[in-house]
């Protein structure tokens, strides 16, 4: 059974940084693609970043490219989202995710989502 648990959310000022963590169990990063989504109040869920596609690239949404960095620790089965230069529009519930289907490009998951999501962690960026 795939289990995903986010941590690291909280309140941060504009321009600040936060690092989200996702503790994963029930699968390995060799076999699954992993990623991050967020959902702001009143808005649709947005794909942010994905790893594990067969092209070997880390895909980022345009809204976070250059500010957010995704990484993983395969030995610990934990992956991260480093968020820098935070803006009020980054306020959202952030979810980590995983998918057993490996596609050529991580950008596929931006459009179609992933199989499994965690319960989310709230990030609030004050102006």
The answer to whether the CB of 24 falls within 8 A of the CB of 1 is no
pLDDT per residue over 50-83, tens digit each?
Answer: 998 888 889 999 999 999 999 999 999 999 999 9
- Rounded to whole angstroms, the Cα distance separating 88 from 97 reads 23
Give the pLDDT score at 68: 98
- Alpha-carbon distance values, 101 to 21, 42, 86, 98, 116 (Å): 22, 29, 31, 9, 11
* Average pLDDT value over all residues in the chain: 95
pLDDT per residue over 22-54, tens digit each?
Answer: 999 999 998 999 999 999 999 999 999 999 888
Beta bridge partners of 57: none
- Rounded to whole angstroms, the Cα distance separating 109 from 115 reads 10
For residue 111, is pLDDT > 90? no
């Amino acid at each position: 059974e795939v289990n995903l648990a986010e941590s690291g959310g909280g309140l941060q000022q504009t321009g600040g940084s936060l690092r989200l963590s996702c503790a994963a169990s029930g699968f390995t990063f060799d076999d699954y693609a992993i990623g991050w989504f967020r959902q702001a109040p009143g808005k649709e869920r947005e794909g942010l970043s994905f790893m594990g596609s067969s092209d070997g690239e880390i895909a980022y949404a345009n809204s976070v490219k250059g500010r957010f960095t995704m990484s993983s620790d395969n030995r610990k089965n934990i992956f991260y989202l480093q968020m820098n230069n935070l803006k009020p529009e980054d306020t959202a519930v952030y979810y980590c995710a995983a998918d057993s289907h490996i596609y050529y490009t991580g950008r596929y998951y931006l459009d179609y989502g992933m199989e499994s999501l965690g319960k989310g962690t709230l990030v609030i960026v004050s102006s």
